[in-house]
Each structure stands twice: as structure tokens, then as C-alpha cells.
Amino acid sequence: MTHPDFLWRNPDPKPAYDVVIVGAGGHGLATAYYLARNHGITNVAVLEKGWLAGGNMARNTTVIRSNYLWDESAAIYEHSLKLWEGLSEELDYDLQFSQRGVLNLAHSLADVREARRRVNANRRSGVDAEWLDPDEVKKFCPIINVSERARYPVMGATLQRRGGIAKHDHVAWALARKADAYGIDLIQGCEVTGFEISGGRVLAVETSRGRIAAGKVALASAGHTSVLADQAGIRLPLQSHPLQALVSELLEPVLDCVVMSNAVHVYVSQAHKGELVMGAGIDSYNSYGQRGAFHVIEAQMAAALELFPLFSRVRVLRTWAGIVDVSPDASPIIGTTPVDGLYVNAGWGTGGFKATPGAGWVYAHTIAHGEPHPLAEPFALDRFTTGALIDEHGAAAVAH
Amino acid sequence: MLLIDCPHCGPRDEIEFRYGGQAGIAYPDTPGELTDTEWAAYVFLRDNPKGWFRERWFHVHGCRTWFTVDRHTVTHEFRQSP
């Protein structure tokens, strides 16, 4: 038996690149891919301190949707969702992208008002959205407990039928294979330890494998962005928190949509392989420890069992945490920085996976042109000074 | 679950506390003279170190004391403030 073909080379770093991307997660790989595909920039390295897609790309719950409240968010997430819809074919790899529908449950009158407002806002933004009353929720997802006596009564739900899930590893591998085919170097085990900055311009990155000169440097480092930006003398409005998730043992098909509930801090889907994938809210404190506390899992399970009494005998297979970078308005920060040639794509918090192709698309444009892509412009760092925040706590606070 | 040493109640489980973020953020002395950039820094910018972090906790389900600790953001261990 022979080893199958490798999907990408494992090159040593060259002394210099036009663009160095820091972080080979979903966003870093998508950015590299679109730099080559859309802008013809292929003298690019993606540096990864660990292994490819081993950070949050391996730890997320793979929910994809675009039903955000504000126009700016709807535009960028919908752009991403449209890219998802053609991505398997484009990358010639089955991403197991499944548009099975995403329910966002409402448990109180306030939830109902917020959800109906969001449905209206979504439709105005060209995002598909429907309001379901409890009976319709029951028809769409029969195993949800919609009893009025439930601790968290289901008073309705929004439904985005085009939302769904994808297989995160396949996404990373497919993007990596295409980026590699364009000649882009994906360099694992190469940690960025500092930046060489002269006259306000970045010239190179210092790494665990030596100095690498760079025309431009693009951060795509999620929870560790603050640590890197600090080395470049930049303070960002980000706080890093653990975000926990878990999977159950493998089950027969039982749940054919994604169910999310912001109010009770849980979101559930069933992966193609059969395990239930559940995510929680963030642990409250700042941490880089890639682990969280059991009481968060316990509260999440209590909520899940109220919604799905059927799951009461399901066993948890494993739990884990990733480190997410949360911004003050629960929206990402994309664009230029006070250092010339240094770009940032961060602050995606608990919901970066769904944005993988969209973020890569607009970030690549921003890097290639030295100024923000129109969809990225509202997400610039200066919004915290101008006050033009994009407050998505309603659509994003806990569950993405 | 963190075991947090409340100065009044002693070591108690994390679920009794609410997190307060970075310690030592004082309201500006001369708020009328601040630029937008300085306001943005006061409102939105906080340290986010990988390592020791001086932070506030609130014993919300206990004695309701606010207090400051040093905690390591990778190991989660606490130490006496230097």
C-alpha cells in the first residue's frame, strides 16, 4: 500500500516574499488562495506556528449562516455564503457543505421581537429569512420540545434555509491544496516572534526559522492576534477568551438542521459522521489556555436537554476549547494598521468559520490594493474612534 | 473551574463570581479635554497579554466585594500581587 499523494508541499521558508500571511487557519489559507486566484499574487508564504488548520479551524462547530442584523454584516456574511455555495466545485473537493437550514430560537417576547426585526432586516438586505411559529418549528425540527411547560419555551424561531454546515478539515485541505498549486509556500512549525519595522513600515518578520523579508504582512491569527500586534507596537480592541464545544458519540441521523439558541447558550447540529456537535458561550475570563471550565459545559448540556429531551442518554465523547478574539461590538476588524504594510483580519470572535471564504476574499483584496475592499471598509479599526460601531451582539453575542 | 480567593470569604468556586476585566482602568481626570482617540482608548482598549494579567473579579453571589488579582492567562494560576 502506498501513501496517497500529499495535498501540499512542506517547503522551507525562502528569504523573502511579496506577502507573508501569519496563521494557516481557514482565514489565512483562504486569503492566500484568493491572493493568487483574484489578484495574481503568488509569491506568498503562509506561516503557521503549529500545524495547518490545527487551531480554531479544528475546533469550531462549522455553522454557516448570514442572517446578521446590520447591512454591513449582512453584506459580508452573505458574500461569504454565496462563495460557499460554489466552493466545493471551484476547489474540486467535497466540502460536505450542507444547506440544511439554521433555526435561531426565540424563548421570550423580547427574543420574538428581536428575531422578527432581524427577519425583516435580512429580507431587506437580500438575505433569505423566515419567521416560524412554534408549530412550524415543530414541523421543521420534530425533536425540539415546544411544550409550553418547557423551562425555555420555544415561542418561535427564525429560519435561514440556505444556512448549514460544512466539513472544516476538508475546507482547510481544499484551500491549502489550491494555494499550494499556485506556488504559495505553506510553512508549518514556523512561529512569528517579532517584526522588523523601520520608518513606520514593516520590512520582515522574525520567526523561529529565521528572518523572512516581506513586502506586506497580513495577520490571520485569531485568538493570538493581540500577542502579535503587541510585538508590532499596535494595541487592538480585542480580548481573548476560551470558547468550548463538544461532540457526542456517533448516532443514527436524528437532527437534520442546525438549531441555535442565544438565550440559553447552546447550538447543535449533527455532523455527517453522526456525532452531535454542540457549542457553548465563551468562558468569562481572558485566557490563552485552550481549555475552559466544566460548569460552562454543564450549563450548555442542561439547556440542550431542555430543548431536546431525546438526548438525555447521549454520551459526550470529548470536549475542547479554542481561543477566540472578541471585539467590543462583536464584529471583525479588517484592514490596514498604523504600521505601513501590516494588515489585520481579527476579532471574528465566536463566528469566524462561516466567514472563511468571504474574509479571505476581502482581505486578499485589501492586501493586494493597500486599501480596504468595499465590504471590509466598515470593519476598519478606526470605527472605535469614529463611533461607527457595527453592534452585532443580538445576532452574534454567544452563538455563531 | 477556577478556585478564586475572595479577600473576604476565602477560596470559592468561580461560578460565584463575575469577571471584571483588566484592573486599574481609571476614569479620565479631565474628560472634557480628551480627544476621540483618547476616549476610544479609555472605552475600548484593554491589555490582552499571554501571561500574567492584573484583573478584577466581583463576588456577585457572595459578599459582593470587587477585588483585584494577578492571574496567568495560560496556566490560570493566581499569585500574590507583587
Looking at residue A397, what is its pLDDT?
Answer: 44
Count CB atoms within 10 A of the CB of residue B42.
14
Q: Mutation target for A interface from B13, B38, B48: give the one with most A CBs within 10 A.
A: B48
> CA of B39: which chain A residue's CA is closest?
A385
* CB nearest B50 (choices: A239, A288, A387): A288
Q: What is the CA radius of gyration of chain B?
A: 15
Q: What residue has cell string 469550531?
A: A60
Looking at residue A167, what is its pLDDT?
Answer: 97
Distance from C-alpha of A170 to C-alpha of A84, rounded to nearest angstrom: 13
What the block records as the C-alpha cell of A57 is: 479551524
The residue ranges of every structural domain in chain A are 5-59+169-237+328-386, 99-163+239-326
Please name the CATH architecture into which domain A99-163+239-326 falls. 2-Layer Sandwich (3.30)
Cβ A287–B55 below 8 Å, yes or no?
A: no
CATH 3.50.50.60 fits A5-59+169-237+328-386, yes or no: yes
Distance from C-alpha of A83 to C-alpha of A60, rounded to nearest angstrom: 19
Distance from C-alpha of A63 to C-alpha of A166, rounded to nearest angstrom: 7
Burial of A113 (0-12, 13-18, 19+ CB in 10 A): exposed
B53 — contact with chain A (CB < 8 Å)?
yes
Q: Mutation target for A interface from B15, B16, B36, B50: give the one with most A CBs within 10 A.
A: B50
> CA of B54: which chain A residue's CA is closest?
A286
**Secondary structure (3-state) at A70:** coil
Q: From residue B65, give the alpha-carbon distance in Å to each of A224, A388, B2, B17.
A: 32, 35, 17, 10
pLDDT in tens, chain A (400 residues): 677 889 999 999 999 999 999 999 999 999 999 999 999 999 999 999 999 999 999 999 999 999 999 999 999 999 999 999 999 999 999 999 999 999 999 999 999 999 999 999 999 999 999 999 999 999 999 999 999 888 889 999 999 999 999 999 999 999 999 999 999 999 999 999 999 999 999 999 999 999 999 999 999 999 999 999 999 999 999 999 999 999 999 999 999 999 999 887 789 999 999 999 999 889 999 999 999 999 999 998 998 999 999 999 999 999 999 999 999 999 999 999 999 999 999 999 999 999 999 999 999 999 999 999 999 999 999 999 999 999 988 654 444 4
Domains of chain B plus CATH, in order, are 3-26+40-80 (3.30.2270.10)
Count CB atoms within 10 A of the CB of residue A167.
19
Distance from C-alpha of A9 to C-alpha of A359, rounded to nearest angstrom: 25
Bridge partners (DSSP) listed for residue B10? B6
Distance from C-alpha of A156 to C-alpha of A166, rounded to nearest angstrom: 26
Could you tell me if B17 and B63 are in contact, meaning their C-beta atoms sit under 8 angstroms apart?
A: no
List, for residues B12-61, the tens digit of each pLDDT value. 999 999 999 999 999 999 999 999 999 999 999 999 999 999 999 999 99
What the block records as the C-alpha cell of A4 is: 496517497
Looking at residue A345, what is its pLDDT?
Answer: 98
Distance from C-alpha of A263 to C-alpha of A294, rounded to nearest angstrom: 19
Cβ A386–B36 below 8 Å, yes or no?
A: yes
Query: ipTM of this predicted complex?
Result: 0.96
B71 — contact with chain A (CB < 8 Å)?
yes
Looking at residue A395, what is its pLDDT?
Answer: 56
Pure H helices in A94-250? 109-124, 134-140, 168-181, 225-231
